[in-house]
């Protein structure tokens, strides 16, 4: 794949990874962990995935101010100037605006890939071909392009994109977007899956710099005005000061709600590159190798008896004996032990909230 000096990559790495508690804690969220046991953390895998596409100096990682040292420690090829620090969490639209207006100061012809820092992609070669096709498309057309994943099951945990299959673009597998739908209930997910018109929303986006700036101007003018107003100070000595000042004034809104659901030039490139957002223990279970009883064991001294379909993640030096559990999550990390039914893992966020309120911050 050819390297182009106009290609930029923005890695969004500010999330708290609450659904992976207690392994993921606010001091070290899941993007900075090697949850797959591959020897590399998720953000390291993400960075390496785009190294053949974008020059090293064209990467930006947008993250919470408290993770600056973690990012630089895990991605030693980056300079501190490439780590953009958000003083508070404000969802994806302000995060993407910050990186875009900063890139605008450097390169008016930029093509930008925006990616989460904690997703899994199994078919890297196919993925690179998809990215190349996408970058070609956005360099020629004034469009906002998202990558859609052909669903392999009626999943309720993902957002969906409905394609307008009648309006074919000249390029294979690129379609105009008809609608975005948030996580559907089981019955609806089944209808989506059967229809063949719906794709999972991967949260990976491609566009040219002029296209995304124009979209901010039109659909999120307040956000545009804030960042445009400080534009001369981006890449300068006072950058952090002005960012810390305007960030609290930014709308807390996702790029999907703020722009993509309103704009009429949104397209989706449909593909299958072995994608998972690794959002939950269940998705990690799906993507990990299992023993004869369908258990996923992460930890060196685990003994299981009459147990099936469990995911166990414990420190290597801890002996853990489990008997008679089916479909459970068992995770120990530092001072915390979680035992929870796999089917109830959406409650983990509530557990974390309750723990914070009743037992204090040291456990979250």
Residue 167 pLDDT class (50, 70, 90 cuts): low
pLDDT of res. 100: 98
Lowest mean pLDDT among 69-73, 91-95, 153-157, 334-338: 153-157
| pTM of the full structure | 0.94
pLDDT of res. 195: 86
pLDDT score of 168 more than 80: no
String of b and e for 291-316 (b: at least 16 CB within 10 Å)? eeeebbbbbeebebeebbebbbbbee
Residue 16 pLDDT class (50, 70, 90 cuts): confident
**What is the phi/psi pair of residue 55, to 5°?**
-60, 145
pLDDT of res. 1: 57
Q: For 111-149, how does the pLDDT look when each residue is reduced to its tens digit (9 = 90+)?
A: 999 999 999 999 999 999 999 999 999 999 999 999 999
Q: Taking the domains of the chain in order of start, what are their residue ranges?
A: 7-276, 289-363
The residues, ordered by sequence, that sit 6+ positions from 239 with a Cβ below 8 Å of its Cβ are 233
pLDDT of res. 60: 98
pLDDT of res. 75: 98
pLDDT score of 253 more than 90: yes
Q: Give the homologous superfamily in CATH for domain 7-276.
A: Spore Coat Polysaccharide Biosynthesis Protein SpsA; Chain A (3.90.550.10)
pLDDT score of 79 more than 70: yes
Residue 207 pLDDT class (50, 70, 90 cuts): very high
What integer best gives the mean pLDDT of the chain? Answer: 93
Looking at residues 314-332, what average pLDDT do you find? 96
pLDDT score of 306 more than 90: yes
The residues, ordered by sequence, that sit 6+ positions from 131 with a Cβ below 8 Å of its Cβ are 1, 50, 53, 113, 206
pLDDT score of 2 more than 70: no
pLDDT of res. 171: 76
User: What share of the chain in percent tops pLDDT 70?
Assistant: 98
Looking at residues 103-114, what average pLDDT do you find? 96
Q: What is the 3-state secondary structure (H, E, C) of 300-344?
A: CCEEEECCECCEEECCCCCCEEEECCECEEEEEECCEEEEEEHHH
């Amino acid at each position: 794949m050819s390297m182009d000096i106009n290609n930029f990559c923005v890695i969004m790495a500010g999330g708290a990874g609450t659904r992976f508690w207690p392994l993921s804690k606010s001091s070290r969220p899941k993007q900075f962990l090697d949850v797959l046991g591959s020897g590399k953390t998720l953000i390291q895998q993400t960075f390496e995935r785009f190294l053949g596409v974008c020059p090293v100096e064209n990467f930006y990682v947008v993250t919470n101010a408290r993770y600056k040292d973690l990012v630089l420690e895990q991605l030693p090829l980056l300079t501190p100037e490439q780590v953009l620090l958000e003083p508070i969490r404000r969802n994806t639209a302000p995060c993407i605006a910050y990186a875009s207006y900063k890139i605008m100061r450097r390169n008016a012809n930029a093509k930008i890939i925006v990616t989460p820092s904690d997703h899994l992609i199994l078919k890297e070669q196919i993925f690179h071909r998809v990215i190349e096709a996408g970058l070609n498309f956005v360099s020629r057309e004034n469009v906002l392009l998202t990558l859609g994943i052909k669903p392999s099951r009626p999943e309720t945990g993902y957002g969906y994109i409905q394609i307008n299959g009648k309006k074919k673009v000249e390029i294979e597998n690129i379609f105009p977007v008809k609608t975005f739908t948030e996580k559907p209930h089981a019955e609806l997910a089944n209808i989506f899956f059967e229809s063949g018109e719906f794709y999972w929303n991967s949260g990976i986006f491609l566009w040219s710099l002029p296209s995304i700036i124009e979209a901010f101007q039109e659909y999120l003018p307040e956000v545009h005005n804030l960042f445009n107003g400080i534009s001369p100070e981006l890449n300068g000595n006072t950058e952090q000061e002005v960012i810390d000042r305007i960030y609290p004034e930014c709308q807390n809104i996702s790029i999907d709600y703020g722009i993509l659901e309103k704009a009429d030039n949104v397209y989706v490139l449909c593909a299958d590159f072995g994608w998972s957002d690794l959002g939950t223990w269940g998705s990690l279970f799906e993507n990990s190798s299992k023993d004869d009883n369908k258990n996923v064991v992460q930890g060196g001294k685990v003994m299981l008896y009459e147990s099936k379909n469990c995911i166990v993640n414990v420190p290597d030096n801890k002996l853990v004996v489990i008997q008679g559990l089916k479909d459970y999550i068992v995770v120990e990390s530092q001072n915390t032990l979680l035992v929870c039914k796999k089917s109830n893992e959406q409650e983990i966020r509530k557990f974390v909230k309750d723990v914070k309120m009743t037992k204090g911050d040291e456990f979250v």
